[in-house]
């Protein structure tokens, strides 16, 4: 199969397929006498795996670690489970951070209803943000305002 056919089947752009080859995520295909890349069905399976792993939130580095284990003849299931556990922990941490941020934004919006634009000085830029958060540490970024 030519790269265009593989791209059409998998929904992965041909430039991305070439990038995956350079990164070692996809084995180099056999070359036809005219220099064209010729892919087998295994390439389609590998590309589908890469897309599914990305949809699960894995980075290309993490995906590479999985395919390298498989290519070395090892079953990567334990490694994948650990990666997914870490990814879930990261997602839950980010959800907590976003919840805190949502509460802070709600407070700023509520405070903005009581502020008079005539009291906003040039140095404040906007006193909704400038004055409402003075002296408070942002619980998401850890920075003081």
pLDDT tens, position by position, 109-142: 998 888 887 777 777 678 788 755 554 445 555 5
pTM of the model: 0.73
Ordered by where they begin, the domains of the chain are: 3-75 (1.10.1660.10), 95-145 (no CATH)
Burial bucket for residue 27 (CB in 10 Å: 0-12, 13-18, 19+) = middle
Burial bucket for residue 128 (CB in 10 Å: 0-12, 13-18, 19+) = middle
Residue 144 DSSP one-character state: B
pLDDT per position as a tens digit, 52-98? 999 999 999 999 999 999 999 999 999 999 999 999 999 999 999 99
Instruction: Give the position of tokens 């390439």.
Output: 43
Q: What is the arithmetic mean of pLDDT over 32-57?
A: 95
Residues 6+ apart with CB under 8 A from 80: 66
Count of C-beta atoms within a 10 Å radius of residue 67: 19
Looking at residue 125, its pLDDT comes to 77
């Amino acid at each position: 199969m030519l790269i265009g056919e593989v791209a059409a089947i998998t929904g992965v752009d041909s430039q991305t397929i070439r990038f995956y080859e350079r990164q070692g995520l996809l084995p180099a295909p056999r070359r036809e006498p005219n220099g064209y890349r010729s892919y087998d069905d295994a390439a389609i399976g590998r590309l589908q795996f890469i897309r599914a792993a990305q949809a699960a939130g894995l980075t290309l580095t993490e995906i590479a670690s999985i395919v390298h284990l498989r290519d070395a003849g090892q079953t990567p299931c334990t490694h994948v489970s650990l990666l997914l556990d870490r990814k879930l922990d990261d997602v839950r941490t980010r959800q907590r951070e976003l919840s805190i941020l949502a509460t802070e934004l709600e407070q700023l919006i509520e405070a903005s209803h009581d502020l008079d634009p005539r009291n906003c000085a040039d140095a404040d830029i906007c006193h909704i943000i400038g004055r409402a958060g003075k002296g408070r540490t942002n619980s998401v970024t850890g920075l003081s305002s």
